[in-house]
Every structure is written in structure tokens, then in C-alpha cells.
């Protein structure tokens, strides 16, 4: 097998075939179909299965098959897939899912990752890991940045090309968003309810990004990294999105944090990904739920735009960035309830995403 993408052999690609294989494995486990399960376990000596219990670490086909058969006979359960995704690169593929383990009347939120190897035309798993997440505050005694941090890591490693969205002077305004208290919300709503909320939230973010001529660079869980050709567009987007999210999802209040920064992406590419992107993420991490927080640079860029008003500035130290930094909370006011579009109107591109950056251009900030 040798997949290609954009002319690159064996490129990483999403795989519907591997999704189907994983659904077949789920079905076999739910039905205690040991013949199918046995055929999906690799014969390699290094095949590994890791369970939720600290003692559940099994190596070898025979050991895995035997202990699974025993456990399946000890209690009734079934898996329900919630967010299955699969990727392949050549003869290796992997699957990730936020699955729900149903035991009687109890539903347990789990995460499952499986690495598959294609051997003689058949996918068989070489490693499987089933876990049940623990809140960082309980496990480590502290709160850690999660989705925002992973977005920064992605941007630093991949360095996506933002030339298409850059302003004529080469600047790009970067927006990071996430949902405050997402871990607690997941536990309260259950995995299925949380995934439905994420789909609602995802649609709102992408619709408003398209409306204001931005595009989604990357999304991860409840976190988004977006790019806009001007600070005015970025702030118009942020205010409009906050107003929509603030209405809540069904009976669930939703509080989103937004951080905005601007940087030069063409002439100063290394500094852009090394500082400007990190700054935007760190600003978002400092924001409160329901707040749009911007860097001192962004506040200066829109200083002459009447529709933007800021609350009292605050000074903070930002992880990975030297010194203290002045941050400005963008105020929600009566006029921002119906946020005007940037002077040159909305982009007319297809719904914004990494693959379809906007074709429209904003004028310089202050227009």
C-alpha cells in the first residue's frame, strides 16, 4: 500500500478503510466475537495492549487474546464510538476515539488509541491503549493548559503558510479560542452531550470566521487557532462569536476565552511562529471566560477605530515570553451586539478552513 497526497508518496491521510476496521473491532468486542478479535490482533511478538488498570499491560498475541476472553466473560459491557478518526501512512495506521464504555446503567468516558499494521492486505493492531481521563487538578494538583498548548505545538512544528491571509504589509492577526472549564463540562454532560456541544461550537466558529474573512488554521478539541488579515477583522470576529456563544448551548452556559495578537509572517517568519503565535495563545490563556483579551500591539493598531473600547489594562507574565506584558480586555457594548463588518465587507470564500483560506482582503487597521 502506498498512498499519495499532493504528489507526496506515503503521505499521512485520513482513512475511511481503517475507520471501518475499528468499527468491526468494536462490534466484535461488543458481541464477544473472539474469532474476529483474534484475526485483528497482530502476530508480531511486540504486540501490546494497555488497559485502564495499572496492572493491565499485556504483550503477545496469546496473552492478549486469553486475558480479553477471560475479562469479556466476567462482565457485560459494550463500547459506543463517539468521535472516531483514523489515519494511515503507507502500511501503518492509527485510530483515536473518545469512546463510551457502557456497563449496565453506568456510562464511562474513555479514550482509545490503536496502532495498526497492514500485513498481506489485512489490517491488524500492533498496539492498543484504553484509558479513562483524570482531571489534571486531581492528578497533578494543578491546572495545565491543554488544547491551546497543543495548537501552539502544531503551529511551531508545521508552520502553516499564511501568505494567502496576510495583509499587504505581511502582517497576520492570530486568534486563539477555547472553552473555559471544558473538563468539568465533559464530566457533567457526558461524552455524548459534550461532543454535540463541540459540533455546535465548531459550526459557530467556522461560520463567523468565514463571515469576517478569516480561516481556521487548526482546531483541537474545544480550541481553535485562526488567522485574519487585520486586527479589526479579528476583533469583529471575536465580538460576534462571543455574543453567539454567550447565549449558551441548550441549558448549558458556555464561557469562551479569546486571545488576539498580530505579527509579521512573511519577512519575519521565524519570529512570527516563535513569538507572535505563542503570544496570542498565552493571551488567550490569561483571558477569563466570556472575555476577549488582546495584546498591547493589537490595542494600538485599532486605537482609532471607534467601535472598539477596552477595559482597564492589566499586566501579566506570559509563559515562555520574557518580561511583563500589558493586556487589554475588549469590552462588549451595545454597538457590538451587532458587530459591523470590516469596511471592505465579508470575504466571499467557501466556509473557512485550513484548506480554503479566504480570498478577500481587509484594508489596513483603522479603516
Three-class SS state of 40: helix
- The 10s digit of each residue's pLDDT in 226-261 is 999 999 999 999 999 999 999 999 888 999 999 999
For residue 357, is it within any domain? no
Q: Are residues 145 and 279 in the same domain?
A: yes
| pLDDT at site 219 | 86
Q: Are residues 90 and 161 in the same domain?
A: no
> Which has more pLDDT, 319 or 266?
319
Please give the average per-residue pLDDT across 81-87, as a whole number.
88
For residue 367, is it within any domain? no
What share of the chain has pLDDT > 90, as a percent?
Answer: 48
Q: Are residues 59 and 204 in the same domain?
A: no
Q: Which of 84, 99, 131 is the last residue of a domain?
A: 131
Please give the average per-residue pLDDT across 269-282, as a whole number.
75
Q: Are residues 293 and 226 in the same domain?
A: yes
Q: How many CA atoms lie within 13 A of 185 on its CB side?
A: 21
Please give the average per-residue pLDDT across 185-210, as a whole number.
88
- Pairing between strand 324-330 and 291-295? antiparallel
- Contact predicate 151/218, CB 8 Å: yes
pLDDT band at 135 (very low <50, low <70, confident <90, very high): low
Q: Give the count of domains, the chain.
A: 2
pLDDT band at 272 (very low <50, low <70, confident <90, very high): low
Q: Are residues 127 and 270 in the same domain?
A: no
pLDDT band at 310 (very low <50, low <70, confident <90, very high): very high
> Which has more pLDDT, 231 or 104?
231
| pLDDT at site 98 | 82
For residue 346, is it within any domain? no
Q: Which of 131, 150, 171 is the last residue of a domain?
A: 131
For residue 343, is it within any domain? no
Please give the average per-residue pLDDT across 189-218, as a whole number.
90
Q: 297-302: long-range contacts (C-beta < 8 A, 24 or more apart)?
A: 297/261, 297/262, 298/173, 298/231, 298/234, 298/235, 298/260, 298/261, 298/262, 298/328, 299/328, 301/231, 301/262, 301/365, 301/366, 302/231, 302/232, 302/235, 302/365, 302/366
Q: Are residues 208 and 158 in the same domain?
A: yes
Q: Which of 100, 131, 162 is the last residue of a domain?
A: 131
Lowest mean pLDDT, pick from 58-62, 196-200, 221-225, 345-349: 345-349
> Which has more pLDDT, 151 or 200?
200
CA 161 to chain CA centroid, Å, is 19
| pLDDT at site 65 | 92
For residue 323, is it within any domain? yes
Question: Is pLDDT of 210 > 80?
Answer: yes
Q: Are residues 274 and 310 in the same domain?
A: yes
Q: What is the CATH number of the domain that holds 310?
A: 3.30.70.1230
To the question of pTM greater than 0.85 for the whole model, the response is: no
- Contact predicate 362/233, CB 8 Å: yes
| pLDDT at site 348 | 35
Q: Are residues 154 and 277 in the same domain?
A: yes
Q: State which residues form the domain around 9.
A: 4-131
Where on the phi/psi map is residue 60: left (φ > 0), alpha (ψ -120 to 50), or beta? left
- Pairing between strand 314-317 and 324-330? antiparallel
| pLDDT at site 59 | 95
Q: Are residues 145 and 282 in the same domain?
A: yes
Three-class SS state of 223: strand
For residue 366, is it within any domain? no
Q: Are residues 125 and 274 in the same domain?
A: no
Q: Are residues 85 and 184 in the same domain?
A: no
- The 10s digit of each residue's pLDDT in 41-56 is 999 999 999 998 888 9
For residue 122, is it within any domain? yes
Mean pLDDT of the chain: 81
| pLDDT at site 194 | 85
For residue 352, is it within any domain? no
Please give the average per-residue pLDDT across 321-327, as a whole number.
89
Q: What is the CATH number of the domain that holds 107?
A: 3.10.450.50
> Which has more pLDDT, 364 or 100?
100
Q: Are residues 47 and 165 in the same domain?
A: no
Amino acid at each position: 500500500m502506498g498512498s499519495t497526497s499532493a504528489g507526496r508518496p506515503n503521505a499521512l491521510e485520513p482513512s475511511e478503510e481503517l475507520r471501518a476496521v475499528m468499527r468491526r473491532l468494536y462490534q466484535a468486542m461488543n458481541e464477544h466475537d473472539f474469532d474476529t478479535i483474534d484475526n485483528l490482533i497482530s502476530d508480531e511478538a511486540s504486540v501490546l495492549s494497555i488497559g485502564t488498570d495499572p496492572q493491565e499491560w499485556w504483550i503477545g498475541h496469546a496473552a492478549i487474546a486469553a486475558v480479553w476472553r477471560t475479562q469479556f466473560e466476567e462482565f457485560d459491557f459494550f463500547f459506543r464510538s463517539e468521535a472516531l478518526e483514523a489515519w494511515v501512512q503507507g502500511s501503518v495506521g492509527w485510530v483515536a476515539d473518545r469512546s463510551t464504555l457502557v456497563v449496565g446503567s453506568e456510562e464511562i468516558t474513555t479514550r482509545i488509541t490503536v496502532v495498526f499494521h497492514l500485513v498481506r492486505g489485512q489490517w491488524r493492531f500492533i498496539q492498543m491503549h484504553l484509558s479513562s481521563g483524570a482531571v489534571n487538578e486531581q492528578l497533578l494538583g494543578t491546572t495545565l493548559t491543554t488544547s491551546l498548548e497543543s495548537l501552539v505545538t502544531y503551529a511551531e512544528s508545521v508552520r502553516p503558510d499564511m501568505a494567502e491571509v496576510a495583509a499587504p504589509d505581511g502582517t497576520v492577526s492570530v486568534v486563539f479560542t477555547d472553552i473555559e472549564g471544558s473538563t468539568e463540562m465533559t464530566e457533567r454532560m457526558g461524552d455524548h452531550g459534550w461532543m454535540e456541544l463541540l459540533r455546535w461550537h465548531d459550526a459557530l466558529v467556522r461560520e463567523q470566521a468565514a463571515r469576517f474573512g478569516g480561516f481556521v488554521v487548526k482546531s483541537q478539541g474545544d480550541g481553535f487557532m485562526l488567522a485574519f488579515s487585520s486586527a479589526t477583522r479579528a476583533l469583529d470576529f471575536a465580538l460576534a462569536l462571543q455574543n453567539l456563544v454567550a447565549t449558551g448551548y441548550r441549558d448549558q452556559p458556555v464561557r469562551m476565552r479569546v486571545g488576539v495578537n498580530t505579527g509579521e509572517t512573511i519577512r519575519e517568519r521565524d519570529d512570527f511562529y516563535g513569538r507572535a503565535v505563542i503570544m496570542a495563545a498565552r493571551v488567550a490563556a490569561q483571558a477569563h471566560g466570556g472575555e476577549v483579551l488582546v495584546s498591547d500591539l493589537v490595542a494600538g493598531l485599532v486605537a482609532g477605530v471607534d467601535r472598539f473600547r477596552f477595559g482597564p489594562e492589566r499586566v501579566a507574565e506570559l509563559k515562555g515570553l520574557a518580561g511583563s506584558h500589558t493586556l487589554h480586555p475588549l469590552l462588549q457594548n451595545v454597538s457590538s451586539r451587532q458587530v459591523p463588518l470590516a469596511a471592505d465587507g465579508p470575504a466571499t470564500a467557501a466556509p473557512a478552513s485550513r484548506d480554503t483560506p479566504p480570498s478577500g482582503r481587509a484594508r489596513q487597521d483603522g479603516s
